Structure 1
Amino acid sequence: MELQQDLIPHKKTIGALDHAVFLCMVFCFWFSGYIYVPVFSLYLEDLHFSYGAIGIILGSYGVTQILLRFPLGLLSDILFSLRKQLLIAGFGFSVLSSLLFLMFDSFFFVLAARLFAGITASMWVMATILYAHYFNNGNASKAMGIMQFFTVMPQFASIVFCGLAAAHLGRQVPFWMALAASAAGLVICCFIKDPSAPPANRDIRVNQYIKDTLRLPKLKLFTILSMTAHAVLFMTVFGFTPLYMNQLGMGDAELLWVMSAFFLPHAAATL
């Protein structure tokens, strides 16, 4: 009996410091990914890309997430031992993305950099699953509420710094800030604690797992609503709104106010 108890995986004890380290990692995750977004389309226009090319680059961020985020979430139980490693790899792609933005200005390399940023964002599913294990069973909604707030808060902080940095130091400075945040997040991620235990049923059949997931009630409805909301968001606020403002004669400082009009109610809603 004692031997059987020893074989049962025990959940690691999670303290306040573990929460703080994890949330610092989350801050770096989103700060590095959004620090340049408010002026990104303007930066692409400065490179003399056509609107079609700008649209392809902006949309590529979502392509990698469509291809990776759903499968990663679906297979998270199978990949339980690699969750932290995948999250660390995500920061690695973020560092690489920032370096490509800083070193090259051709369409191919800028597109590749944005695709790598999408790979980083795809690893967010690993962060949410890991953080859910920081709480007792039944408190998943609390974990997701905290994660949502620490998603919006660094995004808002990033657009504030981006507007100020771009207005005073140039539109390439946010990429340096993204590189610094990515590197810091990579280091912090190495120290986060993974309290999750292996799934009870280790003999998971992938085909059946996918079928069971697709049978979840209203999954398709919520998926369509989410895709529509994200499409509108990235077409406007994170897409062509900055270009439209530039045509109206507004500068990077005014862009800060317009972005704040979106992020302040967005942040308040998460509370």
Structure 2
Amino acid sequence: MTADAKKKQALLLAVVILFWFAQYVYIPYQTPYLLSIQVSEAFLGSILGAYGVTQMLMRLPIGVMADSVGRHKIFILSGTLAAGAASLIRFLLPGGTGFLAANLLSGMASSMWISFMVMYTGFFPEEEQQKATGRIILCNNFGILLGFLMSSLLYKNFGMSLLCILSIAAGVLATLLAFFLKEEKGTGAFSHISFASLKVCLHKRLILFSLLALIQQGVQMSTAMSFTAQILKERGASAFLIGFSSIIYMVSAVLTSAFSSSKKAVKIGSGTLIPIVFFTLGLYCILIPITPYIPLLLALQLLPGMATGILFSNLTAEAMKGIPAKIKSTAMGFYQAVYALGMTLFPMFTGSLAAGRSYLAAYILLALAAFVGTAVSLIYYCLKKPAA
């Protein structure tokens, strides 16, 4: 690999880290903050779900357009700008309505993640796609971890406003760096011929792993990224410990992302890793609402971290297997749009059920969803073996 290629990769990964820092620095305290200003749990579920709404609607069209024009830089720039702009809205309108609008815009920003991933994995040959996917998701998780660290250190004394300012600053810096990204010249113009690429959405393997990612992302957005923080608060955890729980989660995600891109993980194989980690995610959902001890709740955050680092990396790599490069953005758009449906509906459902009944009831149903993922992936890989 040439020095120039390494520089391109490093610059893009730096943008990735800043982008996800901007998107997640406020997340550990979003749920407790909104509940503290009298936002209802049902409305909170809608606010959390709004993040997935725009992703669900925009990711496939963006994938088609990216394949058509053959360029990704403009989509990356749009994402970094939107990430900063969303937190500007949170800063100026710090109530439930402001967060709802901002989360819709943050969802638009995350819709551009397609181009980050396709540009980066395009630097690598087919046989190194799992390694490349694991590496960019590692940087994704590292950016979130840095955000969680900063929020844990600063929220108690400075509140949500400073977290929003940090998010704005990271979005601006990511945008400035993204201007220096270089890519191969595409057509630069949209072509209606690109709609032919939509046939990839009928690819059975892509559909299967998109649905499995829907479960994984939906469960995590409803638990580790949102309502688990409120359960900790109800157990008597301080603001610092709530932030620390998110740090544990993301440290686990970063470390397991590194493992996911290793030769050992490739040797073990997705057929073993996916069912095992889905099962541990289900156990997490059962244990969180029935555990009375804060130290044990903190330790349990390692499990969803594994799901982010190992499960999501493997699901993404498996979904993209065999997809031609010229329609990969469309395939990635479909994949991300499907799992965005989970990110939208699961938190809404969890918030409504928690408000109407209890967190225990909501988390048990989330556990059942994770166990469905375990069973489906086991059946798929068992049926696949004889044909191999």
Q: 1:210 aligns with which of 198, 221, 246?
A: 198
Deviation at 1:263, TM superposition (A): 2.1
Residues 98 and 113, structure 1, Cα contact 8 Å, conserved in 2: yes
By percentage of residues, which structure has more helix?
2
Check 1:183–1:22 CA distance in 2 against 1; reply closer, same or farther (3 A cut).
same
Q: Show CA shifts across 1:79-117 (max 9, x none).
A: 323x21121111221121111111113433321111101
Q: TM-score, normalised by structure 2?
A: 0.61
Residue 31 of structure 1 pairs with residue 21 of structure 2: yes
> Does the aligned pair in 1 maintain the 2:68–2:194 contact within 8 Å?
no
Matches within 5 A, 1:26-175: 26-81=16-71, 83-136=72-125, 138-175=127-164
Match among 217, 220, 232 for residue 233 of structure 1: 220
Structure 1 unmatched runs, 5+: 1-11
CA separation in 2, counterparts of 1:139 and 1:75?
26
- How far has the Cα of 1:36 moved from its partner? 0.5
Partner amino acid for 2:103?
Answer: R
Q: How much does 1:15 deviate? A: 3.0
**CA deviation vs aligned residue, 1:195-249 (integer Å, no higher than 9, x gap):** 36559xx78351x3212x1232322221111111111101111111112222222
Aligned match of 2:178: 189
Q: Displacement of 1:265 after TM fit?
A: 2.6
Partners of 1:149 and 1:106 lie apart in 2 by 32
Percent identity, please: 24
Instruction: Work out the number of aligned pairs and report it.
Output: 255
- Return the letter of the residue paired with 1:159: F
Query: Which 5+ residue runs of structure 2 have no aligned equivalent?
Result: 259-388
**Structure-1 separation of matches of 2:67 and 2:160:** 41
> Residue 67 of structure 2 contacts residue 194 of structure 2 at CA under 8 Å; is this kept in 1?
no
CA distance in 2, matches of 1:95, 1:107: 18
Shift of 1:58: 0.4
Normalising to structure 1: TM-score of the pair? Answer: 0.86
1:161-185 C-alpha deviation (Å, 9 max, x unpaired): 1111112322322111101101100
Q: After the TM superposition, which of the residue ranges 251-260 and 186-195 deviates more from structure 2?
A: 251-260
Distance 1:266 1:191, change over 3 A: same
Shift of 1:38: 0.5
Ranked by relative contact order (alpha carbons within 8 Å, sequence separation 6 or more), the top structure is 1
Which region of structure 1 is more displaced relative to structure 2, 165-174 or 70-79?
70-79
Alpha-carbon distance in 2 for matches of 1:153, 1:106? 29
2:213 partner SS: helix
**Alignment RMSD:** 2.2
- Report the CA distance shift for 1:197/1:143 in structure 2 as closer, same or farther (over 3 A): farther
Q: Is the 8 A contact 1:93 1:119 kept in 2?
A: yes
Q: Which deviates further from its counterpart, 25-34 or 165-174?
A: 165-174
Check the 8 A contact 1:14/1:195 in 2, yes or no: no
